[in-house]
């Protein structure tokens, strides 16, 4: 058995169970190696510039790391669990390859600042990947809106029919939510983009390092000011996966809506075969599984956040080995959210709205009742009174089994003499939708403005 990199003071080898229990290379190597090598190159450059290693040693180190990179990419590199983590695997492999100079790489560095540097770099990339997916989904939703110009759908509150809205308006409400999700990630990226490298174990170092140099080479904004803070905190992770959790909740709600709308009872959405799956027993079935799984996977994204919050809450300052447990929830959260965004985009691109079915369903539910109350307000009636008058009109409709627009002027005047012939311009869902004019409302003028805004923002022509 080879000596551990930290083996000097140890007389006994590590118990096999402990080795198996404490290793992290098996679940982190694939994600972190690129960043680990990048960080090591920046560190070596800085050590040489500061005269802590020779330029010759630096060149050997960087060349060796380059070869290791190629080996990893080609699948030749052997990750060893007895070498514990990604950092020591790479350092030990470098030592195997180039000998003495490799032993200088860890000068003025600890795995504590190394690991959190790697993770910050990883998060930065992850955020960039998520942002691309969010924009893609927004674009698909806008395209879906453009394909469904003028289609009116029932708007619901309490899942009861409320007021008619343009489908475009509803789809753009999702786009707005996603925009805030992106904004949270952008904020988070700005806040996390500071360099922990050079904080060393927790206290910094007396060796003449230059943290601004590594920070700059790694495209960080600046080094973190406080070395203890640098290795202690994982708040940036919590922010990232909190943001993911909120995105997941948004996607889950879209999932729920679309699953519902794809049901026989609604029948508003027809998913194409390419985004549906069947049943192993019921031959007739066609299920909207992707969106059910979007709803389902939101659970794990939220679970990942809870795991990390609980992980961090009891830790004293600076590095604790518990923090190694940050990786799996982080990777899982990002993987899940990217998958959810991607499949929701694909689903959006592959559904049609059943206009006929939707239109034939619109007369039910008195969707124009509130517009009728507003009509009476325009005639000078106090809103509370008009609410009551329309309530009576609805009650009459229920008794006569008809719609508000089916009531005769006499029927209406029987309730209140204020009604005139022009009332029929306010009844029926089309009329009702056309009456909306307030900023951000579902009126077609307002919705057109929203659409134009998003088309230009998302470069859709």
Write out the residues near ligand ARG by the rule CB under 6 A: 24, 85, 111-112, 115, 319, 321, 323-324
For residues 193 and 4, what is the distance between their CA atoms, to the nearest angstrom? 32
Q: From the candidates 15, 158, 280, 417, which is the catalytic residue?
A: 158
- Report DSSP state, residue 281: S
We find the least distance from the C-beta atom of residue 270 to ligand ARG, in angstroms, to be: 48
Yes or no: say if 343 and 293 are a contact pair by the CB < 8 Å rule: yes
Nearest residue (CB) to ligand ARG, 72 versus 348: 72
We find the least distance from the C-beta atom of residue 133 to ligand ARG, in angstroms, to be: 27
Instruction: Look at strands 194-195 and 152-157 and give their pairing.
Output: unpaired
For residues 58 and 94, what is the distance between their CA atoms, to the nearest angstrom? 12
Q: From the candidates 272, 279, 360, 456, which is the catalytic residue?
A: 279
Q: 158 catalytic, yes or no? A: yes
We find the least distance from the C-beta atom of residue 87 to ligand ARG, in angstroms, to be: 6
Query: φ and ψ at 397, to 5 degrees?
Result: -60, -45
Q: Which of 217, 14, 17, 28 is nearest to 116 (CA)?
A: 28
We find the least distance from the C-beta atom of residue 121 to ligand ARG, in angstroms, to be: 14
Written as one string, the DSSP assignment of 378-390 is HTT--HHHHHHHH
Nearest residue (CB) to ligand ARG, 112 versus 148: 112
Nearest residue (CB) to ligand ARG, 24 versus 307: 24
For residues 459 and 454, what is the distance between their CA atoms, to the nearest angstrom? 8
For residues 447 and 366, what is the distance between their CA atoms, to the nearest angstrom? 23
Nearest residue (CB) to ligand ARG, 8 versus 283: 8
Nearest residue (CB) to ligand ARG, 36 versus 181: 36
We find the least distance from the C-beta atom of residue 81 to ligand ARG, in angstroms, to be: 12
Alpha-helical (H) ranges within 111-150 are 111-147
Instruction: Point out the residues that are catalytic.
Output: 158, 279
């Amino acid at each position: 058995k080879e000596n551990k990199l930290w083996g000097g003071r140890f007389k006994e080898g590590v118990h096999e169970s402990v080795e198996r229990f404490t290793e992290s290379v098996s679940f982190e190597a694939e994600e972190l190696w690129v960043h680990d090598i990048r960080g090591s190159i920046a560190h070596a450059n800085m050590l040489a510039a500061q005269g802590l290693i020779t330029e010759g040693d630096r060149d050997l180190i960087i060349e060796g790391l380059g070869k290791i990179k190629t080996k990893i990419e080609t699948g030749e590199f052997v990750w060893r669990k007895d070498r514990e983590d990604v950092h020591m695997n790479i350092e030990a492999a470098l030592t195997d390859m180039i000998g003495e100079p490799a032993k200088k790489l860890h000068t003025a560095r600890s795995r504590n600042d190394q690991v959190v540097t790697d993770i910050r770099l990883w998060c930065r990339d992850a955020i960039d990947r998520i942002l691309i997916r969010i924009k893609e989904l927004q674009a698909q939703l806008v395209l879906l809106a453009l394909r469904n110009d003028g289609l009116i759908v029932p708007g619901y509150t309490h899942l009861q029919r409320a007021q008619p809205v343009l489908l475009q308006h509803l789809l753009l409400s999702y786009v707005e939510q996603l925009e805030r999700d992106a904004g949270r990630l952008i904020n988070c990226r700005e806040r996390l983009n500071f360099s922990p490298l050079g904080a060393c174990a927790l206290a910094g170092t007396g060796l003449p390092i230059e943290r601004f140099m590594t920070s700059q080479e790694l495209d960080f904004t600046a080094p973190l000011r406080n070395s203890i803070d640098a290795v202690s905190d994982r708040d940036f992770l919590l922010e990232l996966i909190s943001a993911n959790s909120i995105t997941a909740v948004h996607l889950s709600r879209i999932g729920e809506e679309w699953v519902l709308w794809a049901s026989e009872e609604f029948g508003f959405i027809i998913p194409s075969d390419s985004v549906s799956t069947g049943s192993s027993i019921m031959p007739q079935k066609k299920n909207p599984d992707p969106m059910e799984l979007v709803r389902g996977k939101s659970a794990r994204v939220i679970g990942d956040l809870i795991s990390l919050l609980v992980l961090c809450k009891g830790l004293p300052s600076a590095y604790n080995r518990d923090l190694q447990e940050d990786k799996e929830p982080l990777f899982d959260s990002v993987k899940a959210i990217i998958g959810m965004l991607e499949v929701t985009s694909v689903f959006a691109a592959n559904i049609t709205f059943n206009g006929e079915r939707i239109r034939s369903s619109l007369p039910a539910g008195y969707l124009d009742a509130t517009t009728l109350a507003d009509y009476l307000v325009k005639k000078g009636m106090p809103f509370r009174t008009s609410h009551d008058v329309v309530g009576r009109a609805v009650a009459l409709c229920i008794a006569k089994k008809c719609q508000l627009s089916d009531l005769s002027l006499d029927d209406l005047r029987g309730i209140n003499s204020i009604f005139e012939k022009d009332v029929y311009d306010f009844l029926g869902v089309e009329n009702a939708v056309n009456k909306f004019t307030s900023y951000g409302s579902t009126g077609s003028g307002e919705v057109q403005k929203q659409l134009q805004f998003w088309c230009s923002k998302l470069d859709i022509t």
